[in-house]
Amino acid sequence: MINIKVFVCNPYQENTYLLYDDSLECIIIDPGMYDGDEQNRILKFIAEHKLKPVMLLNTHCHIDHVLGNKFIYDTFGLLPQFHKGEQAVLNAVVAYAPQMGIRYEVSPLPEKYLPESGTISFGESELEILFCPGHSPAHLCFHNKEHKILIGGDVLFYQSIGRTDLPGGNYNQLISNIREKIFTLADDCRVYPGHGQSTMIGYEKQFNPFLT
């Protein structure tokens, strides 16, 4: 059983995810914690549930998804892992964060990058890597077939899709990846997006105005 806990963080209302199973090993995906209160909420949850963080993943490296990378590294010694195609996106954050009035503690760099396909294991669980660029140049999603869950980042939202007007974005590529890689998952697979409420693959096939 994979348990999922979401924390809504930072001025962008970004969803930070903790995934854990019966082993109590947990992975942290897209840490967006921005202030002491957000940091403490996550630390409290980890302590109360006796979790052991073992991995830090970024679906992509826009500012709202990496604001907590350094905090997680400082606290748990975990370096981020993401696709190497997102490195330039991460490198750009330090320049534009002040222009947006955002305090940014510079993220550490990975020791290793994630591939375009394959699996990630933690505890008794496994996640499949899906390469879904379009919102950003090398965006990844993480899927568990057994429990029918998808950590989708900023690819697919409830009745919406990720924006494609940022550097490295590509609308046609995003739509193609949703149709070919996301909509081929089970209709009752639940999508946990980077912002907003979760949704179901089958529902989005039927009602998403960008894809119907």
Tokens in use for 52?
């052991």
| C-alpha distances in Å from residue 76, one per residue of 69, 72, 100 | 11, 6, 28
Under DSSP, the state recorded for 108 is: P
Closest listed residue to residue 42, CA positions, set 62, 67, 79, 12: 67
Top CATH class, 3-207: alpha beta
Burial class (CB in 10 A: 0-12, 13-18, 19+), 99: exposed
Domain ranges of the chain: 3-207
| C-alpha distances in Å from residue 74, one per residue of 29, 37, 47 | 16, 17, 16
Q: For 109-151, what is each residue's pLDDT tens digit?
A: 999 999 999 999 999 999 999 999 999 999 999 999 999 999 9
pLDDT for position 90:
98
Q: How would you write the pLDDT of the chain (212 residues) with one tens digit per residue? A: 999 999 999 999 999 999 999 999 999 999 999 999 999 999 999 999 999 999 999 999 999 999 999 999 999 999 999 999 999 999 999 999 999 999 999 999 999 999 999 999 999 999 999 999 999 999 999 999 999 999 999 999 999 999 999 999 999 999 999 999 999 999 999 999 999 999 999 999 999 999 98
Instruction: Tell whether the torsion through CA atoms of 2, 41, 68 and 99 is positive or negative.
Output: positive
Calpha distance 40→170 (Å, rounded)? 37
Under DSSP, the state recorded for 46 is: H
Residues 6 or more apart from 142 whose CB is under 8 A from it? 29, 57, 59, 120, 127, 128, 129, 130, 150, 151
User: Whole-prediction pTM value?
Assistant: 0.97
Q: What is the mean pLDDT of the chain?
A: 98
Please identify which residue in the block is written with the tokens 């940091």.
39
Longest C-alpha distance within the chain, in Å?
44
pLDDT for position 172:
98
